[in-house]
Every structure is written in structure tokens, then in C-alpha cells.
Structure 1
């Protein structure tokens, strides 16, 4: 079966009454996802030779850390996927250089910054900062990649030239569409304010609840992008254009669930998402893999609709902690209309699932701290801005470069 086959059913339209999809098609996709995630062997359909037998299994997360550390001039030794003294020393050097607490071990937030910088450099940012690399070396590039961009200086005002207007003429009635909010630009502004404040907002000292939630949104965004690269990226972590296209097309599949996101209750959306997920005839594990990849792709491409589609798929597959995503997007209006009440309820659903032992969606090692911050922030006043106010298709996202 061709990897890029789309799974369709003409009976869907805009309703949720669809015909079941052939399970074999989804099983094939699941196998592709698992193969890519475990072997990184999706480059041309022919996985490379497996690693030689070793006494202990290499950790791919550690290997990615080592690749990034070595790239930026923190000598971690061979990228063998094993945490040793040299790797810990390189991590400590990285933490000292970035003015993080020096522990010799990366937490999820630090790893996200390191890996994201590495992938950005590999994707062409190194050429943009060629002058810095020449004068300051790779560590200077790391510093530059982690500095928020400042907007260009405004042009000097120009004295207006008087224009004679014929009052008998009328202007054309041209509708002006509101520009889409950029999640990437938003997180750049959030990071700038975080640095100005001297660090992240703490749950015990929240003076700006909106900033606290913004910081957690951006941390989740960074983690989601890193996770997608781990699952579907090639050896350098780059996600293929085919995968990005498949995730973008997936929005149409999930559109019936997204249309009423801001006007219906989260409980109704969850029930609809769970019923919708059954129509794929696919194991929850395969749906989760697709959802995680497309979630990160949506953030990487700054496409909020892709993010929302992926989040609804994950929630439909039983992953309630991803309700946090819906809370953030409804709070800020990313890909949907702001709705203060629904945003708070989505946050509560995600927090409640964690309280009952669900696996965290983002930054697992910091889940308790993050939950405390989110809970404290949504209970504070004036948190939510804007309070006044088909075919059945699963993306084939396993085929990396």
C-alpha cells in the first residue's frame, strides 16, 4: 500500500455520522510512525543498518542532547546516547554559559531551548548569523538564537502632501480581514518580558496571571515542537514537507469539531471528539502518535488550526491533559475566537486529569510545578483577555526525509 494514501469516506460531510475506515490502512500508518520513531529509518523507505549490539541501550534523547551540545562547542564526546561524565560536564558548561542553574543535567525547559536552537541552526539560521559565528564561534550563535528579535526602527514621519478629493466619488467597499495572530511572535514577546522580569513566574508569587499562562503556553509549544521532531524528524530533526502537508490537510477532517469550539461546552466537544475518534477504527496509540506529530508541526509552521485539529484528535484518543492546549488557544484567540469561560473550563479539565494520574502532555518532569502555576493563574482575576466577547482523513506523518 502506498504510504501517502489518504483515508476517506464520502459520507462524512459536516456531520459526525461516518462510515468506519478500513483498519488495515490505519495499522499501516501506525507501523510507519512506530518505525520512524524507533529507528529513524524513514529517509527513503530503506532504514539504515541498526546499531551494533551494546551492553546497554542508547538513549535517543541523550544522543540528541550530545549532537546539539557538540554543535555549539560544548564538548560532550561521541554522540553515543549514553550519559557519562563528559556529557554531564558539557551540560554544566552549557548551563553556565546560558546562566541557568548548573546541575549537569538538563531539565525539559533547558533541553527545549538547546534542541530548538540546534534545529533552527540546522534549518538555515546559521547562515543568517554568519558574522556572529565568524567572530564569536558557535556559542555566539547559540546566544544570538536565544535573544528575542527587536522590531525594526520605524520610518521617520513623512509630511503629508495635500490631495484634492472629489467628494462626489465614493470609496470602494473592500472588506479588510483581521490578520491571524502569530504564536511564534507572541512567544518572542513573552520571552522578552520573562527576561525583563528576571525569570519565569512562580506559582507562589503571581503578580501577572496572564504572563504566567503565556509562559506555560510557550513552554508547551517548545516541548510539542521538540517531541514532533523526535517522532518524525530525520537524523537532523527536520520534519519533511510531506509530513507538514499531511498535517495541514488533516484540519479538514477535524473541522466539524473545530467549528463550534468557542460556542459549545468542553464536555460536549470531548464527547464529540471521542465519538469521532472511533470512526478511524485505529488503536489509540496510533492516534496519539499522529496527534503528537501534527501538534508540533502546527506550532512549527505557526498554523493554529493544525494545532487545534491535533489537540482534538489527542483528546478524542483519551489524552485529556491536552485540554490545556484548548485553554491557551481560547484564551488568546489562536485559531479560534476568544472565550473566557470555555478557556477556564478547558484548563480545569486538563488539570483534573493530571490530578487523577493521567500522563502529562508537556514537560513531564515539571508537570507538578506547571499545574500549580496554571491553577494559581486561572484563579487570579483578569486572566483571560477578550472576555466580552468532508472527508475522513488521517495524515500519513511517518515518512521523514
Structure 2
């Protein structure tokens, strides 16, 4: 894998039917034409009423979101960032489902509290804002319950057109553009212990976030006493970055709704079920060899496949579909974007979506960390160079092996050809 050129893509590589349908072998790529159009855009999700609830809640707790009109613009994004910074969450300007639910439920609870709320505010050194931390602590300890979190992440971006261009389904090795993901086949072998890999990462990260705040912040390399907690924190941080990156790219894709994109990303799983299953059984090199064959047989340009994989990675984490996230991560690493191997290390180390295999996770961690240390741009938390040392120390501690002074690249048993992308 070391000789493979690293490819990059952004939303501009995905126009009309050449986005998700291209990878799934279902929609013909349409030629780019220079046209001049005038378009008007409406705000994306959430709905106007939901937007008003968010703005009213932010204003109540002292994060100035401006006029409560339901239109989530830059001022609301800035208020969301301040809210996230105050509670110690990654500052993205976009509310995760848990952050949104905590904000709105806390606002409703404060409004219903009457005189009791006023007493709590007066006794708290942070005033009204302090209620957020107090309510969150009570929720974590079971003192209060919270309604089920919404299934969509709040993204303040222009809406994509709600019409899908006409496409014709094509036969191929990949699922068709309009086909729904097929149901999993029944296993011939009975299973009395259940599937231990079915873990909700969203729920897991909510718990990790609460523990992080209870402990006073993120684990550092110097303060680390529990390597699993350190890895979990960095796993959830990487998940947040992946969701944010993908949703930003989705906002630039024209002709598909988020629901249509999510459905097509799920269609990727059956085609890569063998590679996903191999993660818990085979060494990194063998898994990548199989994935490389899939990449070469797809017939899709590296830039489009890379961008599509990043979009589907975001979809997988946002919708809590681990198979989609795993397939997308594998494609990115096979394309030479080795920094994404960290995600596969996290999944194997913590047993999320796959069987727990810290021994196999070490090779994925090792190669991704080596890539970043050798100059490959960091994908997750790029402004935190100390993160590499923490991941190295924690990953090797969990695997039972001492961390080396200098990471040695994992030898690749297969090589992808170098691709040339012409703009």
C-alpha cells in the first residue's frame, strides 16, 4: 500500500447521478457542462419549529443565537459552538443528536421548574448556564431521564434539491441505484449467544462524553491510567470529525436527498460483506488485499470513490450503521488514505461492529500513526499533534505490547497502481 498515491476529493467531484450511484454501478455519469443558473436555497434540516426550539434554548442559556425565527444561520452556528465549548464537546457548530436533546430538554425542564429553577440559578456560580452541567450530571446518574435522541444531526447548511434526476438502473456486481439493501441471509449455524458486535456507537459515545466531563476533561498521554477510556474518547472524537466532514460534502451534492444518499450507502454493505467479516479474522494486509481487488474491479475513479466513501462514512456513523462505516473506512485505506486506518483500529480494539480483537487492531493503529508522523495530513483533530503519542501509548497498552520508541510501517503485501486524476 505504500506506493499508492493519496487521492483527495471534495463535493465538486460529485455532480447529479455520479455520486453514490457511481460506486454502486447504478447511474451513468453525466458530462459536466458549463451553465449559468440562478438558484434559491432554503435552510436545511431541522424544520422551522425545531430551529426555533434550538434558538430559544440557546438564548435562554446565554448563547446568543439572535432572533428566534427558525432560520439557523451563522449566528446560530456561533452560538452552538459556544454551547459545545462550554460543555467540553468538540466545537463543530453543528449539534449532534445527544447535544441537541440535552439542550432542548434542559430548556424545557428549566421552564417548568418555576421558583425552583430560579433558586438553582441563584446558587450556581455559572448562573443559567450552570443548569446545563447540573442537569447533565443528574441524567448521567439516573436522577433524570431524557427522551430518545433524534435520529438526524442538525446541520446548518443549504438544502439540496428535493428531486432526483432520472436514472436508469444498470446491471452489475454492485447493487442497483434504486434497490434497497437486501436482508441479511439466514445463518445455517445456530447462535445461542447473540451477536456481541452489535453495539450502538452513538449511545456508547454519549456515555464516554459524560465520563469525560465527570473526570474533568480528556485523558492525556501524561495523565492516562485507563487506556480504554483514552481510546474511547479519541474514537468518539474521530467519529464526530467524520460526520462533520461527510455532511459538509453532502451539502454540495446536487440532486439527492440525505435519505436517498443514506439508502445507497447501505447498499454498499452486501458487496463488501466478505471484507468486513475478515476484519475480525485476518491480518491487516490480507484484508487490504481483498479490498484492493474490490477497488480495482469497481471501475470508479479514485477521486469519486474517495469522496463517496467519506460521505458514506459520515452516513454510517450518523445513522449508527457500523457496517456502512466499516466498509467506507476500508475503501479509504485501500485508496491510500492511511490516516483512516485509525478508525478500524478503534472498531477492533473496542469491539464495535466487529469482534473485539486488540491484537489485530494494533497493526491498523500502527500504520495510521506512522503515516501521520511521516507527514500525511491528520484527518481527525488535526490541530492536536500530541494526540498521536496518546493513541500510540493507549493502543499498545490495550494490545498488551509495549509501545515502541518509533513506529515501524507495517509491510504491505499488495500494491495498488498509482492513479492519475485529471481535473
Distance 2:338 2:292 in 1: 11
Q: Work out the CA distance in 2 between the residues paired with 1:218 and 1:152.
A: 22
Q: Does 1:177 align with 2:194?
A: yes
- The aligned counterpart of 1:373 is 390
Q: How does 1:221-236 map to 2 (within 5 A)?
A: 221-233=239-251
Q: For 1:100-115, list aligned pairs within 5 A.
A: 110-112=90-92, 114-115=93-94
**In 2: Cα distance, 1:276 partner to 1:374 partner:** 30
Greater relative contact order, per chain length (Cα 8 Å cut-off, separation 6+) = 1
Distance (Å, rounded) in 2 between the aligned partners of 1:326 and 1:211: 17
When residues 207 and 4 of structure 1 are mapped into structure 2, their CA distance, relative to the original with a 3 A threshold, is: closer
Q: In 2, distance between residues paired with 1:288 and 1:92?
A: 29
- Shift in Å at residue 309 of structure 1? 0.7
Which position in structure 2 is the counterpart of 1:291?
A: 309
Q: Is the 8 A contact 1:117 1:145 kept in 2?
A: no
1:233 CA displacement: 4.4
Indicate how the Cα distance of structure 1 residues 196 and 128 shifts in structure 2: closer, same or farther if over 3 A, else same: closer
Shift of 1:380: 2.5
Equivalents in 2 of 1:90, 1:185: separation in Å?
25
1:268 counterpart residue number: 286
Aligned equivalents of 1:270, 1:99: Cα separation in 2: 39
Q: Indicate conservation of the 8 Å contact 1:233/1:240, yes or no.
A: no
In structure 1, what is the equivalent of residue 225 of structure 2? 207
Q: TM-score, normalised by structure 1?
A: 0.61
How many Å separate the matches in 1 of 2:315 and 2:331? 14
Per-residue deviation, residues 307-344 of structure 1 (Å, max 9, x unmatched):
10110111122111111111011111111112222101
**Offset at 1:175?**
3.9
Deviation per residue, 1:82-120 (Å, 9 max, x gap): 9xxx99996996577x166xxxxxxxx6313x4224896
Secondary structure at the aligned position of 1:111 is classed as coil
The equivalent residue for 1:324 is 342
Judging changes above 3 Å, is the alpha-carbon distance between structure 1 residues 175 and 365 closer, same or farther for their aligned structure 2 residues?
same
Partner SS state of residue 200, structure 1: coil
Aligned equivalents of 2:195, 2:278: Cα separation in 1: 20
Cα pair 1:251 1:309 within 8 Å, conserved: yes
Matched, 1:150 2:140: yes
Q: Aligned runs of 1:158-173 on 2, under 5 Å?
A: none
Matched ranges for 1:77-156 at <5 A: 94=83, 98=86, 110-112=90-92, 114-117=93-96, 121=100, 128=105, 131-132=108-109, 134=111, 149-150=139-140
3-state secondary structure, aligned to 1:351: helix
Give the conservation status (yes or no) of the 8 Å contact 1:117–1:142: no
Corresponding position of 2:58: 72
- Specify the alignment match of 2:374 in structure 1: 356
1:22-33 mapped onto 2 (5 Å cutoff): 25=28, 27-28=29-30
Question: How far 1:126 moved relative to its partner?
Answer: 6.8
Whether 1:48 aligns to 2:27 is no
Q: TM-score, normalised by structure 2?
A: 0.59
Shift of 1:177: 2.3
- The answer for unaligned runs of 5 or more in structure 1 is 10-20, 32-45, 51-67, 101-108, 154-172, 385-401
- Structure 1 CA distance for aligned equivalents of residues 19 and 78 of structure 2: 44
Gaps (5+ residues) in structure 2?
1-15, 42-53, 122-127, 144-189, 402-423
Q: Residue 309 and residue 146 in structure 1: after superposition, are their counterparts in 2 closer, same or farther (change >3 A)?
A: farther
CA offset at residue 274 of structure 1? 2.7
